[in-house]
Amino acid sequence: MAILFHNTLTKQTEPFESIRRGRVTMYGCGPTVYDFAHIGNFRSFLFADLLRRYFEFMGYDVRQVMNITDVGHMTDDQVADGAGEDKMQVAARKLKEAKKSGGVEAGAVENPDDPYQVAAYYTDAFLEDGRKLGLKVAFEYPRNILRATQHIDDMLGLIERLVRNGHAYVAEDGVVYYSVESFPEYGRLSGNTLDMLREGSGGRVMEEDQAKKRHPSDFMLWKPDPAHVMKWKSPWGEGYPGWHIECSAMAMRELGDVIDIHTGGEDLIFPHHECEIAQSRGGSGETAFARVWLHVRFLLVEGEKMSKRLGNFFTVRDVLQGKVTGRPVHPAVLRYELIKSHYRANMNFTAKGLVDSAGNVLKLNRFVRQLEEETGGASVEADASHPVLREFREALSDDLNVAGGLAAVLPWSNKKPKDAREALGVCRSINRVLGVAPLEPTTFPQGVEQFGIVHDPAILETCRAIDAARADRDFQTADELRRRLVEQGFQVQTSRDGTSVQQQLA
RNA sequence: GGCGCCGUAGCCAAGCGGCUAAGGCAGCGGAUUGCAAAUCCGCCAUCCCCGGUUCGAAUCCGGGCGGCGCCUCCA
């Protein structure tokens, strides 16, 4: 069966064929660690995760690599390459403020002026969030998640090659620039042309800075700057790398000169990915860097662009702690919410959507739990021709149509299956991709409670009190106790068999 | 102004030229219940607009309109 993807590079939906049969190499742009990652970032990371799980589900041997940008790039790079304030310093200042106001636990970062400590703090936070949301690659750190600061040598090697073969030059200010005019295909990915870029740059960049470049779109590979907080020795003086070079250097180091798939948010198409292609191909001489480029659309929050000003800017921890719904959200619910719609359509993140997702996640888990009880947990490997598996596979094979896949699973899970063991096998197969029912025990060894099952003795005692009151026909007391449990975020079921509660997942 | 993606019910969303347009949430009616919740049964859209191709289009083509992104750091 054909696997189809909409390739940004060709602007067409085309059949996928990996470079090496049965193997896929994937590179995805990861987070910068100057702050906590937000849900928009995670939509993109989860897309890469889903893609990787899909290929594994299809029997491919997958190697997925992601970067962590822990080099402090500059706040005003757009005005003049390397201008403004170092983002690590901004992060340090914010951390100090947060420590004062108690926003960050004291001692979390001993010395905020040490950029490596700041980076380590936010890297840990990212990994923690990623693991909660079932991001497989987050469990492989430090393998497969590479930090830019650990790969300066790879970057220097690539820059050297680019200078040597004429794709890069040292300008009179000592900065090493990539010459976009040396690479005829610059602009192919984004649909830009050098002429258009030249015009478009008018009035937006500082003339004096541009004068040192051969073309306004030439971008920085290395900037000598001994005063910079994070700096490394190089043939062009002590300084720091440009922000595009890390991805090229690390992807090629880990995955080879040509990779199968490169992913990222749609905003990265230009300039970041355009520049990556230019650097990588300039260095390798290959006719491609990534054969397929996949880009995730932006996420909106309640119909609006997420911004700190509008107050609709949410980190993963904000959502999990209940900042959106008013009660804690189970990580599987957030995972489901962020993967349920097609990656090439804008998704609208809403409190209502989260609650809806919680309903579906609960339903799927209930279904799996029932099957486990019925079979004692013994599943039968489901035949690939099973209608649900087939539909699921076909939907995902069509440009990773998760919604279509869910459309096959949800109606099916509403009905009692004929063969429970086979059904359980189907669920387990599908869950290797979705990762929500349940959150896989292999990837969540500890720390995440079973879905909705309540162990709190005080709560269970209240349930017994309700039973007692109802037995006495003291309905006023029973109703009052029930009302309190509901207020605390529990779903309460009273029946002849006694009162039981389930934790709301969102 | 240039490049690209998207547009199916209140919300999410399937659909890839042909049975009465999946499914979920919400809503409504009913069963059940001390009352609820949960559960079960039933109801709930002609597919952004216009034109074309076709025996037949939500599905293909052309033109609009709308949303979003990029062209400047950003998933």
C1' of nucleotide B12: residue with nearest CA: A353
- Of A162, A23, A56, the closest CA to residue A396 belongs to A56
Average pLDDT of the segment spanning A50-62: 96
C1' of nucleotide B37: residue with nearest CA: A493
Query: Which of A71 and A259 is assigned the larger pLDDT?
Result: A259
CA of A360 to C1' of B24 (A): 7
Nucleotide nearest to A502 (CA to C1'): B38
Nucleotide nearest to A362 (CA to C1'): B24
- What pLDDT is attached to residue A382? 81
- Of A40, A239, A256, the closest CA to residue A159 belongs to A239
The CA distance from A366 to A491, in Å, is: 14
- Of A37, A3, A36, the closest CA to residue A17 belongs to A3
Nucleotide nearest to A205 (CA to C1'): B72
Q: Are strands A290-296 and A61-68 parallel, antiparallel or unpaired?
A: unpaired
- The residues, ordered by sequence, that sit 6+ positions from A101 with a Cβ below 8 Å of its Cβ are none
The CA distance from A301 to A329, in Å, is: 17
CA of A430 to C1' of B61 (A): 38
Average pLDDT of the segment spanning A430-440: 81
SS3 A452: coil
- What pLDDT is attached to residue A112? 84
* pLDDT tens track for A210-267: 668 888 899 999 999 888 889 999 999 999 999 899 999 999 999 999 999 999 999 9
Query: Which of A109 and A118 is assigned the larger pLDDT?
Result: A118
* pLDDT tens track for A409-418: 988 888 888 8
C1' of nucleotide B72: residue with nearest CA: A78
**Six-digit token string for A274:** 């355009």
* pLDDT tens track for A168-179: 999 988 999 999
SS3 A307: coil
The CA distance from A270 to A412, in Å, is: 42
The CA distance from A354 to A370, in Å, is: 24
**Which runs of E-coded beta strand occur in A304-361?**
304-305, 347-349
Average pLDDT, chain A: 87
**Which runs of E-coded beta strand occur in A329-393?**
347-349
CA of A504 to C1' of B27 (A): 22
* pLDDT tens track for A442-483: 343 333 445 556 778 888 899 999 999 999 999 999 999 999
Average pLDDT of the segment spanning A362-373: 84
Chain centroid, CA A361 distance in Å: 20
Quick check: pTM over 0.90?
Answer: yes
- What pLDDT is attached to residue A197? 78
Chain centroid, CA A240 distance in Å: 26
Res. A505: pLDDT tops 70 = yes
CA of A10 to C1' of B61 (A): 21
Cα dihedral A453, A457, A459, A463 sign:
positive
CA of A286 to C1' of B1 (A): 35
Average pLDDT of the segment spanning A498-502: 86
Nucleotide nearest to A499 (CA to C1'): B37
Chain centroid, CA A159 distance in Å: 29
Say what the ipTM of the complex is: 0.92
Q: How confident is the model at residue A51 (pLDDT cuts 50, 70, 90)?
A: very high
CA of A459 to C1' of B17 (A): 58
**Least confident stretch, A107-121, A140-154, A171-185:** A107-121
Res. A207: pLDDT tops 90 = no
Measured at the CA of A466, the angle between CA A465 and CA A467, to 5 degrees, comes to: 90
> Which bases on strand B have an atom closer than 7 Å to a protein beta carbon?
1-7, 11-16, 22-26, 34-40, 67-75
Res. A4: pLDDT tops 80 = yes
CA of A193 to C1' of B53 (A): 36
**Six-digit token string for A363:** 């339903």
Q: How confident is the model at residue A204 (pLDDT cuts 50, 70, 90)?
A: very low
- What pLDDT is attached to residue A87? 81
Cβ–Cβ under 8 Å, residues A300 and A347: yes
Q: How confident is the model at residue A79 (pLDDT cuts 50, 70, 90)?
A: very low
Chain centroid, CA A161 distance in Å: 32
- What pLDDT is attached to residue A327? 81
Nucleotide nearest to A405 (CA to C1'): B14
- What pLDDT is attached to residue A205? 47
The CA distance from A426 to A423, in Å, is: 5
Q: How confident is the model at residue A202 (pLDDT cuts 50, 70, 90)?
A: very low
CA of A386 to C1' of B42 (A): 31
- What pLDDT is attached to residue A90? 80
Left (φ > 0), alpha (ψ -120 to 50) or beta: where does A84 sit?
A: left
Average pLDDT of the segment spanning A91-99: 79
Nucleotide nearest to A394 (CA to C1'): B16
Q: List Cβ<8 Å contacts ≥24 apart for A77-84.
A: A77/A220, A77/A243, A78/A204, A78/A205, A79/A205, A79/A206, A79/A209, A80/A205, A80/A206, A80/A209, A81/A175, A81/A177, A81/A209, A81/A219, A81/A220, A81/A223, A81/A242, A82/A175, A82/A220, A82/A223, A82/A225, A83/A206, A83/A209
SS3 A462: helix
CA of A464 to C1' of B27 (A): 34
